Structure 1
């Protein structure tokens, strides 16, 4: 029977800090906030690594400031998932090597020289080595863009990702409906299983082409991930939002969380560990919902075995 860990996507969102409800008075430093968070949860997803390469120093501090049984899932740096990347997100020396300024049109990995792409991969993994050495790096999370559809070239890229990340747990989250249609979902799960990818079960608004249904399939016996984005259809494709909290503003009701608890517990019967990650991140929504879910599955912080 697997262990269920609950956590949130990030612990430093601006609206979370500003609301003043999760962090106690005086808990204002980076160290204090992470230590407080880790008193309540055993899991966190690092979201900042999508926007910029993580640093070795930060990863070392994260390892030092959390208990021995605390784990991190880390999102992939955006060009590694095919997302458009502002030039300012790239390290200065790489911009110089490309003879580019920090201003100008966003870049895509396929437009970069292969040696630059290789270097981005190298730096991403090197930065996470302190977490890996400490036994606290659980999964690398690859969230692909809506234009990453179920076609041959993208299957080939997934195979490349698997090859580059031998020895790592790699979670895959799709944002195009083609991967999980009734006709294709079995083939998608079979491909994930063949390549030891962790299937990411999503809870998110439905009906858009960049939405997929909740497919409660296990493709790696080590881990299953349930990522809860909220169900706010009005903001799912919000244009010109200034922060992620604008899009993922949703407060799960106790009834909704109770309905989710049962299939999450069923997943735990097939894997060593289940991660339930709340990505609804306006103010303290994710932290409150996460603590409610922990109570529903039978425990607090040191989650439950079922």
Structure 2
């Protein structure tokens, strides 16, 4: 049985900080992280999507957390083809994902920024959350291949926001594509009432890692404010639906990261605490995935070893790809 780590998609969210969850004396930057890490084993770094991470912060995060604690770092917006503000670009670079020279510099800055986490064994994964317009096809496959080349040796997780990636008739090819690049597929919990809803499938595409992200079940997904999109309080029955799926993932991977993104007040940490308790109390499940758990190709991946107390050690720091390779990335993001 692999290790299951439960946490949230931020420990610094303004709504969480203002909710009173952090006790007096633990409300400065260091105190908040130490308080969080005493209760959970994983957290997502959401700020790295909005601005490139810095070495100093990564080093402090590693120093303030215990052995075995890991950070899932969200890829910078420019690296997944999202709109990016010029104000957050380094050294006056243009926020232009079609420029190979810009991409090379941004990739290098991103790698440098998270290096202290990698060196300390705290890098749980780098999360590539692709936008809804990132659809199956040759440009997307080229983009994913180049992401893998630039991050060789890193633990990678991929979340698709367009539902066609996991629709019947396509899911097997998607699973095979991610498995070929050693990328862990991200399973999602969200409302299933919208045409844009991503189905709650749980494919295994890497023997090292599986990730499940709980976005809440608001029908304002994709249309409302951030608070509207993610406002949801999970009930125990909703979380219990996922217990056998999460346990099956843990039987086939070294680690499973279960992360809550319903970031309104303390809703995410409350859900994470409840999920931790439910998992501790859950009975074992059969060591056979259900038909909906994984594409057939992914199901044939080798069985993972039992998880150690710390995440699998990433390989060497990647060297930014040449500019000529970046031209394909530009096409994929169009």
TM-score under structure 2 length normalisation: 0.82
CA-to-aligned-CA distance 1:157-210 (integer Å, 9 cap, x gap): 000001111010110000112211111011101111111110100111224354
CA-to-aligned-CA distance 1:40-96 (integer Å, 9 cap, x gap): 0010000000000011000000000000110000000000000011111212x133x
**In the alignment, which residue of structure 2 is the partner of 1:84?**
83
Distance 1:223 1:175 in 2: 20
Q: Do 1:2 and 1:271's aligned partners in 2 also have CA atoms closer than 8 Å?
A: yes
Q: Do 2:96 and 2:102's aligned partners in 1 also have CA atoms closer than 8 Å?
A: no
**In the alignment, which residue of structure 2 is the partner of 1:103?**
none
**In the alignment, which residue of structure 2 is the partner of 1:237?**
222
Q: Do 1:94 and 1:116's aligned partners in 2 also have CA atoms closer than 8 Å?
A: no
Distance 1:138 1:203 in 2: 20
How far has the Cα of 1:19 moved from its partner?
1.4
**In the alignment, which residue of structure 1 is the partner of 2:31?**
32
How far has the Cα of 1:238 moved from its partner?
2.6
Secondary structure of 2:241's match?
Answer: helix
Tell me, which stretches of 5 or more residues in structure 2 are unaligned? 282-306, 308-334
Q: Do 2:207 and 2:253's aligned partners in 1 also have CA atoms closer than 8 Å?
A: yes
How far has the Cα of 1:28 moved from its partner?
1.7
Q: Do 1:205 and 1:211's aligned partners in 2 also have CA atoms closer than 8 Å?
A: yes
**In the alignment, which residue of structure 2 is the partner of 1:67?**
66
Tell me, which stretches of 5 or more residues in structure 1 are unaligned? 99-106, 300-304
**In the alignment, which residue of structure 2 is the partner of 1:102?**
none
Q: 278, 298, 302: which is aligned to 1:296?
A: 278
Secondary structure of 1:280's match?
Answer: coil
**In the alignment, which residue of structure 2 is the partner of 1:16?**
16
Aligned counterparts, 1:1-306, within 5 A: 1-20=1-20, 22-91=21-90, 93-95=91-93, 98=94, 107-110=95-98, 113-233=99-219, 235-239=220-224, 241=225, 244-298=226-280
How far has the Cα of 1:251 moved from its partner?
0.6
Secondary structure of 1:109's match?
Answer: coil
Distance 2:170 2:148 in 1: 21
Distance 2:125 2:27 in 1: 28
Q: Do 1:176 and 1:209's aligned partners in 2 also have CA atoms closer than 8 Å?
A: no
TM-score under structure 1 length normalisation: 0.89
- Equivalent pairs, count: 282
Distance 2:196 2:46 in 1: 20
How far has the Cα of 1:6 moved from its partner?
0.1
Distance 1:27 1:163 in 2: 41
Secondary structure of 2:101's match?
Answer: helix
Distance 1:13 1:293 in 2: 20
How far has the Cα of 1:216 moved from its partner?
1.1
